[in-house]
């Protein structure tokens, strides 16, 4: 059974009120009062079950079914090459927060020639800028990571590991995880969190977004938005015979199409991220 849209403890709500009153977080002119230390563990967390897989990509190959490498989708149950904001917002979701009808996807994983479907995804929505963040605008599309990479990408963007109990450092190549239910293989992708303020997409699906530097957005992308980390969990221990549909082990990337029900997203952004509260899983 899905949990309600947003569940916070009384302590968390009280903390939000105190933060808002004491720091005036999110108000113009007060962003300088937030420090890097204040941002630690400020997040809300989404959990989404696997939905479906298909050789579709409504960002890179919009309107062209079957033209993409294979993807594994979580979140919105209707995502395909023909998806629009309206079609996504009218569909259901595999996420615990029923208002999260956004679409999330990564390239399908293979072990040898066999497809390995994720058991689900954990999605962190963090604040990593001193400035207050705004909710993503409806219809925003973005890609993180390089689907054509043949060399190691920055571990700040994408990496593999075995989970917090897996004792495997983040790495560009697939590790071999110790056996155990909580140490399964994971692929992480971190999305940029600075927006240019006007484009919902761009020709390369990346130029309208940027990563912050020292917790500040560049002048070219002045609008701070939530920092998403998409983590897929796979029911295998990894190994050298694992590859991605986009090619090899180095081409980790993820896609996001914002189709949240905006009032719900706004409440989470303001009640958690801008209030400097760790809301965790709702």
Residue pointed to by tokens 């808002």: 20
- Say if CB 82 and CB 20 are below 8 A apart: no
Instruction: Give me the pLDDT at residue 282, please.
Output: 59
| Contact (Cβ atoms closer than 8 angstroms) between residue 64 and residue 89 | no
Kindly give, in sequence order, each residue whose CB lies less than 8 Å from that of residue 214, ignoring residues fewer than 6 positions away.
none
Angstrom distance (rounded) from CA 169 to CA 161? 6
In the prediction, which pLDDT does 19 show? 41
What are the residue ranges in the chain where pLDDT is below 50?
1-32
How distant is the alpha carbon of residue 92 from its chain centre?
A: 18
- The Cα 174–Cα 160 span in angstroms is 6
Supply the pLDDT for residue 181: 63
pLDDT at 165: 72
| Among 44, 43, 64, 42, CA closest to 54 | 64
Could you read off the pLDDT of 210-264 as tens digits, one per residue? Answer: 999 999 999 999 999 999 999 999 999 999 999 999 999 999 999 999 999 999 9
Name the percent of the chain lying above pLDDT 90.
Answer: 83
Q: Who contacts 140 (Cβ-Cβ below 8 Å, separation ≥6)?
A: 195, 200, 201, 225, 256, 257, 258
Enumerate residues 6+ apart whose C-beta is below 8 A from 22.
none
Please name every residue paired with 47 in a beta bridge, in sequence order, or none if there are none: 122
- Residue 281: the pLDDT is 76
Which pLDDT belongs to residue 78?
98
Residue 244 Rama label (left phi>0; alpha psi -120 to 50; beta): beta
Phi/psi at 49 (5° precision):
-80, 160
Provide the token pair at 195.
Answer: 């927006």
């Amino acid at each position: 059974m899905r949990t309600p849209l947003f569940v916070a403890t009384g302590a968390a709500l009280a903390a939000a009120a105190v933060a808002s009153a004491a720091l005036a977080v999110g108000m113009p002119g007060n962003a300088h009062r937030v420090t890097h230390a204040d941002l630690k563990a400020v997040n809300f967390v989404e959990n989404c079950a696997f939905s479906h897989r298909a050789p579709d990509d409504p960002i890179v190959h919009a309107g062209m079914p079957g033209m993409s490498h294979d993807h594994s989708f979580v979140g919105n149950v209707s995502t395909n090459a023909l998806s629009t904001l309206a079609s996504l917002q009218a569909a259901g979701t595999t996420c615990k927060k029923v208002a999260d009808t956004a679409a999330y996807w990564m390239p399908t994983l293979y072990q040898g020639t066999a497809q390995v479907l994720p058991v689900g995804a954990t999605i962190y929505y963090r604040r990593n800028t001193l400035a207050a963040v705004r909710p993503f605008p409806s219809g925003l599309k973005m890609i993180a990571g390089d689907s054509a990479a043949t060399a190691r990408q920055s571990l700040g963007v994408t990496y593999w590991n075995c989970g917090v109990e897996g004792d495997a450092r983040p790495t560009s190549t697939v590790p071999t995880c110790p056996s155990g239910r909580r140490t399964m293989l994971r692929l992480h992708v971190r999305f940029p969190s600075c927006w240019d303020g006007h484009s919902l997409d761009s020709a390369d699906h990346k130029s309208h977004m940027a990563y912050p530097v020292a917790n500040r957005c560049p002048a070219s992308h002045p609008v701070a938005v939530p920092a998403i980390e998409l983590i897929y969990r796979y029911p295998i221990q990894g190994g050298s015979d694992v590859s991605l549909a986009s090619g090899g082990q180095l081409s980790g990337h993820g896609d996001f199409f914002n189709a949240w029900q905006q009032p719900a997203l706004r409440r989470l952004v303001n009640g958690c991220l801008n209030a400097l509260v760790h809301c965790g899983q709702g």
